[in-house]
Structure 1
Amino acid sequence: MAQDQNRFTIPANQIREEFLSNEEKTNLSVYASKGRKMAMKVKIIEPLLGEGTVELRRWDLKKDSGRSSSSYVLNKTWGEIRENNKLKIGDVMQLWPVRVDEELLFVLVKLD
């Protein structure tokens, strides 16, 4: 939730069910430029029911042990979403993927 970290991180090991199509997974694995992977624009319904768009990216991080871990991140407009919905450190969030006419969208839920 830090203001200088404009992202919502989704560790791959916390994903319960696959939410991306094979084509989407492949696209997010391709490098666009400067070592950054391609992004995918996804609509999001916010906790206070506002609607917006985020960029979904895949991050693969190498560890000192030689292993790597993967995460998906939502960024670009995450700071606005955080502010508009008064999200703070310690909030427990759920992110639900939904398909409408094959288009992926997210529903972000703040748990009490």
Structure 2
Amino acid sequence: MKTLQKLVASDPETLQMMSGKPYEPKFMDLLLLQCAPHFYTEEQKAQINHFKQNSSVESRSETKNTAEKRKIEEISEEESDTSMNKKPRQEINYSSPDLPTKFKNRFPELNNDDFKFLLSKKLYSSDVDPNKNRLSMPENEIACDFLTEAEVTKLCERTESNNFVGVEVTVLDPCLREFTILLKRWKMRSTYTYNLSARWKHIVSANKFEQDQELEIWTCRANNKLYFLLENV
């Protein structure tokens, strides 16, 4: 405080005349105004207050921009890479199993070519864990493309809380019972994975699926719906 008093010991108008420059408020003036307001003219006080308001706005703007930048940087790679979604995938070259007759009978209006075999899936503990409530299908194990461009775009959309919206699909279990759940796409280590989530645990419970059990997973489209077809192996 003693140092500040020495700094403002001279009359401010005299200091301004000595400097030969128009008065321009500085950050130190904000402090000096609080402890020694009598050393400033009313015009200078108004300039300092205006300077204070502008500095506050700029500070809030900078803080907001920094927070938004950090939020963008924190978005994980799996949730923002739309370009990878739109790249054509290479189909896996192996012979698919025969389409179960029950699926043909369930969709008599479809031809064999309308059904796509996706993968043979061995269930892990995480696939039957009701707390996780999802079936994972690694993208590099899926035999073919099965989504439309609109669905690919939908998989990248987020809610206001920054969660994935997902694509609504219908699952037919081995008993041909229908379940409406969500398909989502996540990044898992070095690859992407599709997940049947939201009420998947009900399918596990109804079929008493267990760890190490194997499923064949097919897909088709009927009645403007995307179906996933599950068959026990």
TM-score for both structures, normalised by structure 1: 0.85
Question: Distance in 1 between the 2:217 and 2:224 partners?
Answer: 18
1:58 positional shift: 0.8
Task: Confirm or deny that 1:82 pairs with 2:204.
Answer: yes
Return the match for 2:171 from 44, 49, 53. Answer: 44
1:40 positional shift: 1.2
1:33 positional shift: 3.8
Q: What is the SS of the residue equivalent to 1:31? A: coil
Task: Confirm or deny that 1:100 pairs with 2:100.
Answer: no
Q: Tell me the percent identity.
A: 28
1:20 positional shift: 0.3
Which structure shows the bigger proportion of residues in strand conformation?
1
Question: Distance in 1 between the 2:174 and 2:164 partners?
Answer: 28
1:42 positional shift: 0.7
Q: Which amino acid aligns with 2:202?
A: E
Q: Which residue of 2 aligns with 1:25?
A: 152
Q: Count residues with an aligned counterpart.
A: 106
Q: Which runs of 4+ in 1 moved over 4 A?
A: none
Task: Confirm or deny that 1:69 pairs with 2:182.
Answer: no
Which structure shows the bigger proportion of residues in helix conformation?
2
TM-score for both structures, normalised by structure 2: 0.43
Specify every segment of 5 or more residues in structure 2 that has no aligned partner in the other structure, as ranges: 1-127
CA RMSD after TM alignment: 1.5
Higher relative contact order, chain-length normalized (CA < 8 Å, sep 6+): 1
